């Protein structure tokens, strides 16, 4: 699933920030997941896993980053943004990604049966929900070993 991008250096820089956020999540007793939303190569929002600390199953790093981006940019249309995260977005996060029309998703580690890209419930690949439009481009395996090492 590893793919290359024309701007691999930028994706790795963004992923390094996600890894820092994942370490903070782990220190708080959370799953080590960090996510950022970038627009024009600059980070506009971040998210740190908070499911356990906030006792809310919806407080995934990706969803938090999306909500923070909506507030920072003043719009729910994130069609000019990129989401980068240490772990493949799950099905829940993938729904939010599609709803907000994020066109590029980058992750480090695939998560298997609950993954929004690699599982049988591949929301990030789905073409049957017409209002979502085209599926996003997905790039997996970026700094995978570093992401696993958090």
Backbone angles phi, psi at 5, to 5 degrees: -125, 150
Q: In the beta sheet, which residues pair with residue 35?
A: 47, 85
Find all residues with CB under 8 Å of 5, minimum gap 6, and list them: 11, 106, 139
Q: In the beta sheet, which residues pair with residue 42?
A: 39
User: Which ranges of the chain would DSSP assign to H, the alpha helix?
Assistant: 8-27, 61-73, 91-99, 144-148
Find all residues with CB under 8 Å of 54, minimum gap 6, and list them: none
Q: How big is the chain, counted in residues?
A: 150
Active site residue 62: yes
> Choosing from 30, 46, 49, 62, which is the catalytic residue?
62
Alpha-carbon distance of 38 to 72, in angstroms, equals 11
Which residues are identified as catalytic?
A: 62
């Amino acid at each position: 699933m590893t793919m290359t991008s024309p701007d691999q250096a930028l994706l790795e820089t963004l992923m390094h920030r996600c890894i820092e956020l994942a370490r903070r999540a782990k220190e708080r007793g959370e799953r080590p997941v960090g996510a950022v939303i970038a627009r024009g190569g600059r980070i506009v929002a971040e998210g740190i896993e908070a499911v356990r600390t906030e006792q809310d199953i919806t407080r995934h790093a990706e969803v938090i980053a999306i909500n923070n981006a909506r507030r920072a940019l003043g719009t729910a249309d994130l069609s000019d943004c990129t989401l980068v995260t240490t772990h493949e977005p799950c099905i829940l996060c993938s729904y939010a990604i599609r709803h907000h029309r994020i066109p590029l998703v980058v992750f480090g580690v695939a998560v298997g049966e609950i993954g929004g890209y690699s599982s049988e419930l591949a929301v990030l690949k789905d073409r049957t929900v017409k209002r979502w439009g085209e599926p996003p481009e997905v790039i997996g395996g970026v700094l995978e070993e570093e992401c696993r090492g958090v």
